[in-house]
A and B are shown apart, each in its own frame.
Chain A
Amino acid sequence: MALTCIQHCQRCTSLLRSRSVGITTLQYSTDAQHWPAALWNSFIVPVLPSLLQRSPNPSQTRQRWNLGVRSYCESHAKVQPSQTKHRNTDELPGTDMVSYQNPVSHQLIDGGMLLKEWQTAFDLDDAPGHSALEEISHEEAVRMDIPAALPPVSISLKDYVNESETLGKLVQLGVQLWKLEQRPNVGSMLLRLDFQTDVTPRLVFLKQLGVEDSRLGYLISHNPFILTESLENLQARVAYLRSKKFSAESVASMVSRAPYLLNFSVKRMDNRLGFYQQQLGLSAQKTRDVVARLPRLLCGSLETVKENLKICKLEMGFRENELQHIVTVIPKVLTANKRKLTQIFDYIHNTMNIPHDLIVKFPQVLNAKYLRIKERHLFLQYLDKAQYDPAKPNYICLDKLVSLPDEAFCTEVASATLKDFELFQKTM
């Protein structure tokens, strides 16, 4: 195994000596992965002093940055010949070394390395040109470009954000990296992205769609995978939504409110739209309205929606047309928590004795908080004002019961002070 290693080294050295600054793809066997880490270390150390003599170049630092998370041995690889596939290397002066780019990056944790990345140019037969203890002049020392001591593996993106262009620009956009780094693999994925080729086209696409600048940060914080979705797919999905006669503004608002929307395939979206239209029995325009108001209907699972519909029909006993009306006014009923929905309905129908048709007239009560309805109803009952039948005098509108803020409710509906209401709350 060591023999093949040496042969590879010699090949590297010869390439290096010939100063080929072009595209070189060297095919290596993958058995290098099994090489013990100690072996790597012993090869690389003597190389370093000879490779340190080079002029500093900030753009090199930037390009070098595009590596992503690497093992420590690889940081030495920065001063090794490159395997540039599509980066330009023209700005490099005529030095021995070119910057190291590896477009295919791997997260290596325990120092194991793929041979592709190990391109030490040294020949075991050559004596090293410079030793580490050699004295160099002050100017040379200053000219030396020491790569940033970035930790090879880190649990936080804080260590890399100062160096990485992508992360820096994302932070300035308002992306909450502290949330994203907690998700598995997302941090490494973001580090590997290149700002110019990956991120910028997608941001431009979203802007052209109509998503506002202030929402871009929110979008990426919730769905970082939009930056890895292919542009053709994104365009196809938007074209599909437009073909279903969603206006441009509604598509923009749907995308900004449901960050995962464009990651779903056309087939899945089509399936869901068909389901809603068929199950609810609504016209195309009304379905469009419902979906535009609650875009996450297209993202989540259909099972919960089916269960909610069953509960509304069987447990609560709403008829088809009543259900249609409720859903067009409050689409959230389709994704509400079943337990809370039944609790509220039980209280409204059985304790407050409100009939179905009144509930259908004011579906907002199903969206309100249970505690709020209970407290306000008991307060009105205490004041002998709990009368919800429109036919009788002193009728209290359910809409006002639920949607008014506390002060307005106390003064208008209950004709009491806020203090009285708070004192009553403490007797519950």
Chain B
Amino acid sequence: MARPSVRVFHKLEGLFSIYKPPGVHWKLVRDTIETNLLKGINAAPPPAPRQRVQFLAESTSVVAEGSNELTLSAASVPALAHHPLGEALHIHIGVGVGHRLDVFSSGVLVLGVGQSNKALTDLYRSHVTRDYTLEGELGMATDNFSHTGRLIERTTYDHITRDKLERVLAMMQGSNQKALLTYSKVDMSTQGAYELAVKGELRPDGKSPPIMTGLRLLHFQPPHFTLEVQCLNETQRYLCRILHEVGLELRSTAVCKGVRRTRDGPFTIQHALTHQHWTSPDVIQAIRQYRSSRKASKAKHTQPGKDTGTASQRQEMAEEAAVTGDSHRLHSVLTSKAFGS
């Protein structure tokens, strides 16, 4: 009984991730996807025009002056008010954006459609971490910490070695770890706190400033270098500032040439849709994939005794937990009611 367009609506309930290219405002991206989804919905065959009943009197030639009979004939006329050509079936659909990306950065951007926007807020309240890849260049300082800003200072960087850079990064990671311990508000002298810390599942309780839970040097070739960061509550501007501070610690200067988000909670770059795939069928497929992966993870977590079948599976789970440190949190979010059935 449901119209084909309503069926398409049901298929669109879910979260999916896209790859936002650099230089585009996130709002434009969201608007483009909303337009494409609406095109997909309105492309569904329109329903047959509704009929309405109109009563027409018999022609006056039949009715004589003295006759007492007067009949009305009912005619079924198409109701033009809902003619498919004259009416746009749907002109609005709620597409929500997860953690936003500014114009300069690129990477995974999570979007939700319809009812799943509630799940989006839950996901981000659960303190999931995000992975970034930062590309930096030594020897320059600008006003907005990125290479597009106005140049303020130029310095030499010949004295910088990989070793020194890694020492600076380790120092920064240490201070961030301390901040994490303070904001997580756990009593450090308990066994429970120790276990959480070992598993890497310590998280801040409530609001906190940006905290980096992981920091690593990927690639170093002066003047270019690449960092990988895992962080919470950050903004892209903050990450550019981090690079600037790294440069300052090394008695030189650095600017950020690119910020790329590679993971946003459970959404990795592997399944993110590139801009040629921002169409209705591809989005439906991505949502289907997300739903099936959610069902699979729900099954995994609700049967702890059964799933430790193969050693490789266990290892995989342990690796996942170590890398993301979010498995416990994800489990509680994924099984929560807000995600729906």
Contacts and interface: CB of A to CB of B under 8 A. Distances in A.
Interface stretch (B169-177, B268-276, B319-327): B268-276
Contacts of B70: 139, 142-143
Contact of A176 (B80, B81, B86): B86
Interface stretch (B52-60, B113-121, B246-254, B291-299): B52-60
Given A139-B70, A422-B274, A171 B83 contact: yes
Q: Which of B57, B79, B260 has the most CB of A within 10 A?
A: B57
Given A139-B70, A161-B81, A56 B57 contact: yes
A168 B63 CA distance: 30
B86 A162 contact: no
Given A168-B80, A425-B19, A428-B21, A161 B72 contact: no
A426 B272 contact: yes
B274 A142 contact: no
A234 B19 CA distance: 51
B1 interface: no
B57 to A, nearest CB: 5
A408 B88 CA distance: 36
Contacts of A142: 57, 70, 72
B85 interface: yes
Contact of A162 (B80, B87, B88, B269): B80
B52 A162 contact: yes
Interface string B16-52: 0001011110000000000000000000000000001
A406 B275 CA distance: 12
B221 interface: no
A162 B78 CA distance: 9
B29 to A, nearest CB: 12
Contacts of B85: 171-172, 174-176, 217
Interface residues of A, number: 34
B68 interface: yes
Interface string A48-63: 0000000111100000
A333 interface: no
Contacts of A391: none
A178 interface: yes
B106 interface: yes
Contacts of A406: 276
B68 A139 contact: yes
Contacts of A327: none
B277 to A, nearest CB: 8
A408 to B, nearest CB: 13
Given A55-B60, A139-B68, A176-B88, A371 B81 contact: no
B23 A371 contact: yes
Interface in A143-170: 143, 145, 158-159, 161-162, 167-168, 170
Interface in A239-291: none
Interface in B76-97: 77, 79-83, 85-88
Contacts of B63: 55
Contact of B86 (A159, A175, A370): A175
Chain B's interface size range is 20 to 34
A178 B274 contact: no
A56 B85 CA distance: 33
Contacts of B24: 371
A310 B74 CA distance: 68
Contacts of A427: 260
A426 B269 contact: yes
A177 interface: yes
Contacts of B19: 425-426
Contact of B80 (A167, A179, A375): A167
Contacts of A375: 21
A375 B106 CA distance: 13
Contacts of A172: 80, 83, 85
B106 A428 contact: yes
Of B24, B60, B81, most buried by chain A (CB within 10 Å of CB) is: B81
B21 A371 contact: yes
Contacts of B87: 158, 177-178
Contacts of B106: 428
B296 to A, nearest CB: 24
A300 interface: no
A51 B274 CA distance: 70
A57 B60 contact: yes
B80 A428 contact: no
A162 B56 contact: no
Nearest to B19: A426
Given A142-B57, A371-B23, A428-B22, A178 B79 contact: no
Given A178-B87, A371-B21, A428-B21, A162 B274 contact: no
Nearest to B23: A371
A60 B24 CA distance: 60
Contacts of B276: 406
A58 B80 contact: no
B57 A143 contact: yes
A140 B327 CA distance: 79
A370 B24 CA distance: 11
Nearest to A163: B80
Contacts of A179: 88
B308 to A, nearest CB: 34
Interface of A: 55-58, 93, 139, 142-143, 145, 158-159, 161-162, 167-168, 170-172, 174-179, 217, 370-371, 375, 406, 422, 425-428
29 contacts: A55-B60, A55-B63, A58-B56, A58-B57, A139-B68, A139-B70, A142-B57, A142-B70, A158-B87, A161-B80, A161-B81, A162-B80, A162-B81, A167-B80, A170-B86, A171-B80, A171-B85, A175-B85, A176-B85, A176-B88, A177-B87, A371-B23, A375-B21, A422-B274, A425-B19, A425-B21, A426-B19, A426-B274, A428-B21
The 8 closest A-B pairs by CB, nearest first: A171-B86, A158-B81, A177-B86, A161-B80, A139-B70, A56-B57, A174-B85, A425-B274
Given A161-B80, A174-B85, 19 more contacts: A93-B60, A142-B72, A143-B70, A158-B81, A159-B81, A161-B86, A162-B52, A170-B86, A171-B83, A176-B85, A177-B87, A178-B86, A217-B85, A371-B21, A371-B23, A371-B24, A426-B19, A427-B260, A428-B106
